[in-house]
């Protein structure tokens, strides 16, 4: 049984949606909360919870909530807004005029781990991803001036590791890391670590400090 | 001839002569030259909209994979199948 949290500033429409979703046979508990309380409630309901966010768009809130549970955003149906929501981490996006049945189906899909977006906006979303990937490939070409080792150092620095941590990771001394870093900055015409991180972001590289086993 | 087309690198272009009519989730495309009417579901329409003469099937499949988390090769196979179908229905030309 899926539990749902409806995030809404308007308690009437939010409450109505929560009541309608709660009546669905696949959905169990369904609560309506204000945006400011959403994160707290979501954190206490980790599990098979889906968050339906119909409050005014806020990508920071979407990102925070998406770290806890799948988020379905109900918005204006504008392509730009959908792209922002999906980029912020929303797993689903529907026009706020979607029917209860459509929302209920989307909630069920998200609970199974399947993304759901407004069908008529799918083309715009794909176009956005294609364009972004092209920009990332262009940016990645800038890294071709680096040696394989320098690129390894670049990727680790972009993830926020300091010289000692990079050295430990690559089995080289911090002094060698500093030498590589100077070469990287010169070759790429970068002036600070934040420039380096910005370039890595344009390349679409993983900026997470969590390296995992393959990092 | 579609058999000679390398669909992964081809850059399909929507035919400008067709008429597009949308009704809810379904889109109908009418070719006045042949009198043929084709119906596209939202996924097929999204791919057809990407047929701008610059975007390859590889790029389309990559975008779908990024969005859905699906296996790239499986998506590429489905995308090229859909593009072949578009070509057979004369909804695209290959540039």
pTM recorded for the entire structure = 0.70
Hey, are the CB atoms on A127 and B22 less than 8 Å from each other?
no
Dihedral-angle region of residue B68 (phi above 0 means left; psi in -120 to 50 means alpha; beta otherwise): alpha
Q: Considering only CB atoms, which residues of chain B are within 8 Å of chain A?
A: 22, 25, 42-43, 45-50, 55, 59-60, 62-64, 66-69
Closest CA to A164 of A155, A153, A149, A148: A153
Chain B residues with CB-CB distance to A130 below 8 A: 50, 55, 59-60, 62-63
B12-14 and B92-94: which strand pairing? antiparallel
A70 Cβ contact list (under 8 Å, min separation 6)? A50, A51, A91, A92, A110, A111, A113
Residue range A149-204, pLDDT digits in tens = 999 999 999 999 999 999 999 999 999 999 999 999 999 999 999 999 999 999 98
The residue among A70, A82, A99, A130 with the most chain B CBs within 10 A of its CB, best to mutate, is A130
How high is the pLDDT of residue A188? 96
How high is the pLDDT of residue A93? 92
Between CA B61 and CA B68, with CA B64 as vertex, the angle to 5 degrees is 140
Hey, are the CB atoms on A119 and B47 less than 8 Å from each other?
no
Min Cα distance A110 → chain B (Å) is 12
Hey, are the CB atoms on B42 and A86 less than 8 Å from each other?
no
How far CA A171 is from CA of A152, A167, A207, in Å, comes to 12, 6, 21
How high is the pLDDT of residue A46? 66
Closest residue, chain B, to A132 (C-alpha)? B63
Min Cα distance A123 → chain B (Å) is 4
Residue range A54-92, pLDDT digits in tens = 999 998 999 889 888 899 999 998 888 888 898 888 999
Residue range A109-137, pLDDT digits in tens = 898 888 888 777 888 889 988 998 999 99
Min Cα distance A65 → chain B (Å) is 19
Between CA A207 and CA A59, with CA A210 as vertex, the angle to 5 degrees is 55
Hey, are the CB atoms on B62 and A125 less than 8 Å from each other?
no
Residue A13 CB burial class (10 angstroms; 0-12, 13-18, ≥19):
middle
Q: In what order do the strands lie in the sheet with B19-23?
A: B19-23, B26-31, B36-40
Out of B50, B63, B69, name the one closest to residue A133 (CB).
B63
Report the alpha-carbon distance of residue B15 to residue B13 in Å, rounded: 6
Hey, are the CB atoms on B22 and A117 less than 8 Å from each other?
no
| DSSP E strand boundaries for A21-155 | 27-33, 49-53, 71-75, 92-95, 116-117
What does the CA dihedral A13, A18, A19, A21 come to, rounded to 10 degrees?
120
A135 in contact with chain B, both atoms CB, cutoff 8 A:
no
For residue B51, give the DSSP letter.
-
Residue range B41-52, pLDDT digits in tens = 888 999 999 999
Closest CA to A52 of A68, A32, A36: A32
What does the CA dihedral A27, A23, A110, A88 come to, rounded to 10 degrees?
-120
Q: Give the percent of chain A with pLDDT over 90.
A: 55
Helix or strand holding residue B62 (H, E): helix B57-68
Q: In what order do the strands lie in the sheet with A92-95?
A: A27-33, A2-7, A49-53, A71-75, A92-95, A116-117
A:103-122 residues touching chain B, CB 8 A cutoff: 114-115, 117, 119-120, 122
| Cβ neighbours of B5 (radius 10 Å) | 16
Chain A residues with CB-CB distance to B49 below 8 A: 123-124, 126-127
Reported confidence tier of residue A47, pLDDT bands at 50, 70, 90: low
Min Cα distance A174 → chain B (Å) is 36
């Amino acid at each position: 049984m899926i539990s749902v949290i409806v995030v809404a500033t308007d308690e009437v429409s939010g409450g109505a949606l929560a009541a309608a979703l709660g009546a669905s046979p696949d959905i169990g508990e369904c609560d309506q909360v204000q945006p400011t309380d959403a994160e707290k409630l979501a954190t206490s309901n980790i599990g098979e919870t889906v968050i339906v966010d119909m409050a005014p768009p806020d990508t920071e809130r979407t990102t925070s909530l998406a770290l806890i549970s799948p988020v379905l955003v109900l918005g204006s149906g504008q392509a730009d807004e959908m792209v922002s929501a999906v980029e912020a981490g929303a797993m689903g996006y529907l026009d706020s005029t979607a029917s209860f049945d459509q929302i209920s189906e989307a909630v069920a899909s998200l609970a199974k781990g399947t993304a759901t977006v407004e069908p008529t906006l799918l083309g715009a979303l794909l176009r956005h991803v294609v364009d972004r990937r092209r920009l990332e490939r262009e940016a990645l070409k800038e890294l071709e001036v680096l040696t394989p080792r320098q690129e390894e150092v670049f990727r680790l620095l972009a993830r926020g590791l300091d010289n000692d941590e990079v050295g430990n990771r690559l089995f080289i001394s911090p002094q060698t890391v500093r030498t590589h870093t100077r070469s990287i900055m010169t070759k790429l015409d970068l002036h600070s670590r934040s420039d380096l991180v910005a370039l890595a972001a344009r390349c679409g590289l993983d900026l997470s400090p969590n390296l995992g086993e393959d990092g | 001839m579609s058999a000679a087309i390398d669909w992964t690198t081809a850059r399909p272009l929507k035919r400008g002569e067709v008429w597009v009519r949308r009704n809810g989730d379904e889109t109908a495309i009418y070719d006045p030259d042949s009198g043929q009417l084709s119906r596209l579901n939202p996924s097929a329409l999204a791919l057809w909209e990407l047929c701008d003469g610059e975007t390859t099937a590889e790029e389309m499949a990559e975008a779908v994979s990024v969005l859905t988390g699906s296996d790239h090769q499986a998506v590429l196979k489905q995308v090229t199948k859909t593009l072949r179908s578009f070509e057979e229905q004369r909804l695209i030309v290959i540039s």
